[in-house]
Amino acid sequence: MTQRLSFHDQIQRNKVKSFFLIGIIFVFFIAFGYLISQILDPSYFFIVMVFATIFSLIYVIAGYYNSDKISLASVKAKVASRTEYGAFYHAAESMSIASGLPVPRLYVMESEEINAFASGRNPEKAVICFTTGALKKLDKYELEGVVAHEMSHIANYDIRFMTLTSVLIGMVSIIAQMFLRSLWFGGMGRDRDARAQIIMIVLGILFAILAPIAVQIISFAVSRKREFAADATGVKFTRHPRGLADALKKIKEEHVSSRETKHRFSKAMAPLFISDPFKRKISGLFATHPPVDERIRRLEMM
């Protein structure tokens, strides 16, 4: 007999794993800042951390507070007409009741492919945007499943969570750039012998090159865990895992049959979508989404 998965367990596990991965990025940030301060001057540790934190926060927060507007503008979305897309509004209102969240503002974007995303810094500012193709091709239960998935991102504050991830990644990248640029000015500490200094510099250069890549890989892992959590939370809202599973099967069929993506979505938007809109054959560490087959398998076991 096949063991059933509990959506409560899936939600909790993926949230815990997400926080653990964020913790790893934070450790990278502290360790990298400390290493560079030791190479340059121990008194620089506090200065380096404060500068990187402030600069990264200013850069990211501007986008965070306008995330809904930026996302909608990037896909040229339009307000969904209740007359034309009544089923969309009905699904959103049903999931609003199930989740206890306000009904998000609903938008549509022109594309024959099945896809959707949610954005906004909190439930009161949230938006959900579907492709016209999704609204044509999904039946009632599939539409509710995808809406529930997107409202799960809102309920789980995933935009806020991924913003935190972006801030940490930005801080690591800033520190790396500060260190590499400082090498041109000879700002090295002079309290240790030449051999130790060379070793520290080499370690610093390696860290400066590899750390931004490592934290980006970790951020992809966070994105994948948030997708699994949204799938499970969506089942919690609908109590009908088959709807989302069948929608993902239709998305998978499009990935196989579609020759080329004709839309002009920004690649920076890819992690927001329920499925990678570029159909990139990326798996493993560099994938922003979990494998569709694994998502379907988990849903069918719930």
* Torsions phi, psi for 118 (to 5 deg): -120, 150
What would the DSSP string read from start to end of 135-197?
HHH--HHHHHHHHHHHHHHHHTTHHHHHHHHHHHHHHHHHHHHHHHHHGGGT----SS-HHHH
Sign, CA dihedral 285-286-290-293, equals negative
Residue among 142, 150, 260, 300 flagged as catalytic = 150
The number of beta carbons lying within 10 Å of the beta carbon of residue 122 is 11
Distance CA 97, CA 82 (A): 18
Tokens describing residue 155? 């309920």
Residues 6+ apart with CB under 8 A from 247: 114, 138, 142, 143, 145, 146
State yes or no: is 253 an active-site residue: no
Task: Kindly list the catalytic residues.
Answer: 150
